[in-house]
Each structure stands twice: as structure tokens, then as C-alpha cells.
Structure 1
């Protein structure tokens, strides 16, 4: 019988999708007990992802919810709060599926570098990872439109407000609706 850390190390070493693995920090609907976690569960079952642990951003970032309860991390370090989330090691195959869910090609989100630490640590154990940020076309304007008031964690109560794509109106895209929202002059 092996110690849990030995088992975790072996699991990481045998993870599918090639040797190039990325550390991905998730803060919203991909976290455990959230609506889109099923994707990470599927990736884990296929050895394309491994849960590393709970992490917090080293720097402060804005985290807001937009239309349909969709969470957005805004690439504006120094504003907002330190964000709590989860860190996963993901294979190239798994990363392609996450990028598809997050709408990278559609410019809904963009995957960018971020530094995270174990809960409550300030400087020890800083890890470089990547996270899905609101695309630069609308991120900062969304933060301003939300009154520059964010949260430190997307919790289970926030996840209840999330509307799955299949349940959203078909007449327009989320990106069109975001653009309308951030461009409107009324609150």
C-alpha cells in the first residue's frame, strides 16, 4: 500500500495526452460541486486531468458574474480580491476540451498566466499556472459596469444561478449580449 502522495505522483506520471501538462486554475463553474465540473470529472476518468489542490491567487483580481450567472475573472491584477479556486494538471487533450468549453476561439475567454499559492500563503510555494480570463474585448468594461465590486469566490449559491447554454435564448449569442450590456448607458 502506497502513501497518498506516492499514488498521486504516479497518477500524474501516467496521465494521458503526452508529456506536456499545464497547470490550470479554475475559479467558477469548473470547480467541484459546480455545473460544469462534469467535464473535469470526465478528464480525470480518462487520465487527462489530475486535481492538485485548493489554491488562491497570489495577487488580487476582479471576479464578477455576468449574464446567465457566468463567472468572469478580469485580467486586472491589483484590483478586486485574492480569488479562491482549484488547481488541476491537465494534458494537451484535456486542455483542448477546456478551451472549447470556455470559448477560446470565439473570444469569450482567454487563457493567460496566473500565479497561485496554497490557501492563505503569501509568498511560499508560488506556482505558475494558467486561468481563463474574460476576453480583453469586454473584461475591463464588465468590471466597471458591475460597479468594480467583485467577490473572492464563486460559491455553490452562485452556481445555482448559472444557466447552461442549452437553456439560454437561441436568438442571440452570449458575446453579443455582453457587448450590449457593457455598452449600454443604463445600469
Structure 2
């Protein structure tokens, strides 16, 4: 699942992070989070207003989001905290810092400096006890594949894991 975020909102105002593609960053303990939150459709909540003022309309969406966050009673009411949570979830899921930063629409330096500052003892415990391990680098996986034998089934599996084509794996095996 890849979301496409435009450089403008429905209100024709620019977005802070610009156009980008992003992926969900789901923590290993909650792989069904998208279904639980019912957010796959990408539809915005229905807000009724007679105003055409973008600040008024965005304020209504912000108020609606805060109301929902208060109802969830999870200890935060700022929607921006969800970006920090997404980054942490991605880290727990073994998603590289570069991919997390790109998905959030900022640099790896911003990810390292701003987002990681929010870690606390419980965050560290969660990362140590609930994280998945990152896949080995592709070059290492090709080496393992050469040792195991490169039959069609193994090649297809490696291609699926690394998001590359069968032919790309074959080229790497030939090197």
C-alpha cells in the first residue's frame, strides 16, 4: 500500500512536506492497524461548513482530529504526535531510516535530530523487545542464494522479499 500525497491540499493550500509517496509504518505487534483504524479508504471526515476560508476549514478538520484523539484517550491530543509514532513504528518494523524519512517527507538528518529526540525509556524498551530485525543487505542475500542453490523458487522468493524482478536477481547472480 503506497499513499500519494500531493503538494496541495483540497483547499488549494501548499503542504509543508510537498509531493511524495509514502508507505504505512506498522509496528510488528499491530499489523492490522490500518484495518482497526479504518483508514485505508483515505477519505477525509465529512465536515459541514458554509465558509470557503481555508483557515476556517482546516481549523474544523484540526478540531475534529483533536476530538477523536481525546476520545481515544491515549495520552496525546496533537495530530503531529502521530508522525512521531509512525517513525517509531517504522523503526520497530525494521524500515530503514532513509525510507522512514522519505515517507515522512524530510531528510535523514531531520529524522535523526528531531524524531529520535522524543525517545524515552519505554520507547527504548519497546524497540528492544518488539522490533523485527532488518533484512540482510541484498548483496549478502545474493551470496546466500548462491550457496543454497538458485532454483526458480528461491529466486522468486528473494525477488519478492527485496521488491525486485526475477531478471534483476538473475543479473546479480551472474556477477
The normalised TM-score by structure 2 is 0.26
Structure whose residues are more often strand by fraction? 1
The normalised TM-score by structure 1 is 0.25
Bigger Cα Rg: 2
Task: Give the structure, 1 or 2, with the largest relative contact order (CA under 8 Å, sep 6 or more).
Answer: 1
Structure whose residues are more often helix by fraction? 2
